[in-house]
Amino acid sequence: MITQTFICDECKKSVGETELYSIDISISHKDAGPYNTRRVTSIKKDVCKGCLEKRGLIVEKPANGDETAKAEANNKKTLEAKFIDFLEDLGVAFVE
Q: Say which residue, 4 or 63, is predicted with more confidence.
A: 4
Residue-wise pLDDT tens digits, 27-85: 776 666 666 677 777 878 888 888 888 888 877 777 777 788 888 888 888 877 777 77
Residue 95: the pLDDT is 66
Residue 96: the pLDDT is 62
Confidence of residue 18 (pLDDT cuts 50, 70, 90): confident
Pair 86, 79: CB distance under 8 Å: yes
Residue 53: the pLDDT is 84
Q: What angle do CA 25, 31, 33 make, to 5 degrees?
A: 165
Task: Return the closest-CA partner of residue 48 out of 3, 7, 5, 92.
Answer: 7
